[in-house]
Amino acid sequence: MRALAIPVLSVLVAGVGAVRMPHRSAAASYGSASRTSEASSSPPALGHPSSLLLNDESATFTSGNFPGHAVRIRKNTGWCDPDVKSWTGYIDINEGTKHLFFYFFESRRSPSCDPLLMWVDGGPGCSGALGLFMELGPCGVDEHGTGTLPRKDSWNEQANVIFLDQPVGAGYSYAEGGEGVDTTEEAARDVAAFVGMFMETFEEYSGREFHMAGKSYAGRYLPVFASEIVDQNKRAAAKGRQEINLKSIMIGNGITDFFAMLPSRYDIPCTGASVPPILDISQCVRMKEALPRCVQMTKASCVDVFNELGCKAAKLFCDSELEAPLVASGRNIYDISKECEGTRELLGADGKVKDFELCSNHVWKGFNRQMDVYAPGPYYVAGLLERGVSVLNYAGTYDWTCNWIGNMQWVETLDWYGKEAYNSQTPRQWLVDGERAGITKSWKGLTYATLEGAGHLAPHDKPVQALAMVNRWLEQRAL
């Protein structure tokens, strides 16, 4: 499964490079208790980087709590959202062999009080820049594709937001000496290290309510990433370190349970579940006939017992019978992004990343070889709910690949302490400005919702409704 792309993405990175700022000559260097710079050689008290860096200045931080890790950040306030402070940079982990790139924007409302939210994109292998510029970030690409414009309905209206390029190999993130990641469980260890180092560096966010969000393959990522943080919190507490105050995960049009998604790949194009049927009757008949075999093969070789050869055979059969007809209809569009002069300098991206890719084929192929998508994602979700981490699972009704029916079904079959109570609830409509935005169902920490009329990139298609949903969720209000 690949994340969907649309033609305007070809100018996405170009829009970043169009906003230029003065360049300071040398990056300052920071240790755990010292700083040197052009302006002063006196070591200031450590604190939030906003108190240490001037605009367009870079620095490196290290921490005794995370040996072998470092943080390289660049303060570049104003390039995307002129009204908030922002940073870009790397967190170097695993003895400096892996380097995760991030964008960070403070909240427009109250940076000192609002929660912290981290966004990851899917793929696997897509840059967080996709969500930043196309869906929910503080700015989008202008109509000419040569600059950026502030986005009114950005998710940093009431939250401090990180956009992360992960795993290594995605976006501006990279690895040394052949290091790589090809399973979600491996990526989770890197992301947990990233979050810990981020909290050390931007220390005013340490202990703040923390939420993790993403779309598409993030339905596989987020439950595992959050579980790794929950487990690492135990070790942090034992060592006297601040625990990460993880409150929730928010999965948008996710692929949390691939097996549950299979039958709905017939429902979306062949019934009136979202829109009038879009495939010919003969095509739908063939899909319907193939569906039981697809389900049986997948269950036998990918779910009940993992058999690599059998699982690959099941995937090939299911793709050819359930996916190929819709792809052939021209409904899915792919495109290639390009880079503009000045982007790296502005963001402080490392020159070791030779060619920026919005979605990395190399990363995707690695995860695909490992059959990572078939891992039991719902088990992690249940574990999070049992430990008090809330879960929002939402889906645009016009998406096919990670559609609302499949997402509704895996939530209803999820084995957790609230299963019976959740399924006894009656779905209801939820409103934004008095108008229907979708349907929702909730009990305790688990909420399911649809965004009617939205596709795979739901915040792009329905920005007002998506922001209302997120703000209510962050404030722990019912949708």
379 contacts: CB under 8 Å, gap ≥ 6? none
Active site residues: 216, 399, 456
| Residue 167: both structure tokens together | 């795993």
Strand pairing partners for 116? 160, 210
Q: In whole angstroms, what is the distance from residue 8 CA to residue 93 CA?
A: 33
419 contacts: CB under 8 Å, gap ≥ 6? none
Q: Which residue has the tokens 């380097």?
A: 99
What angle (nearest 5°) sits at the alpha carbon of residue 246, between those of residues 126 and 394? Answer: 55
CA 270 to chain centre: 30
Q: Are 254 and 393 in contact (CB under 8 A)?
A: yes
Q: In whole angstroms, what is the distance from residue 344 CA to residue 9 CA?
A: 18
Strand pairing partners for 395? 450
Alpha-helix residue ranges (DSSP H) falling in 271-392: 281-298, 308-318, 324-328, 343-347, 361-369, 377-386
Q: Are 334 and 7 in contact (CB under 8 A)?
A: no
Cα 368 to Cα 124, 185, 189: the distances in Å are 9, 14, 19
Question: In the chain, how long is the greatest CA-to-CA distance?
Answer: 76
Q: What is the dihedral of CA 51, 111, 9, 120, to 10 degrees?
A: 100
Q: In whole angstroms, what is the distance from residue 40 CA to residue 34 CA?
A: 11
Cα 124 to Cα 19, 95, 167, 184, 207: the distances in Å are 29, 24, 8, 9, 30
What angle (nearest 5°) sits at the alpha carbon of residue 332, between those of residues 328 and 333? Answer: 115
| Residue 40: both structure tokens together | 């002063």
Q: Which element (helix H / strand E) includes 199?
A: helix 184-201
Helix or strand or coil: residue 201?
Answer: helix
DSSP per-residue letters across 225-253? HHHHHHHHHHHHHHTTPPPP-EEEEEEEE
Task: Work out the number of other CB atoms within 10 angstroms of the CB of residue 363.
Answer: 25
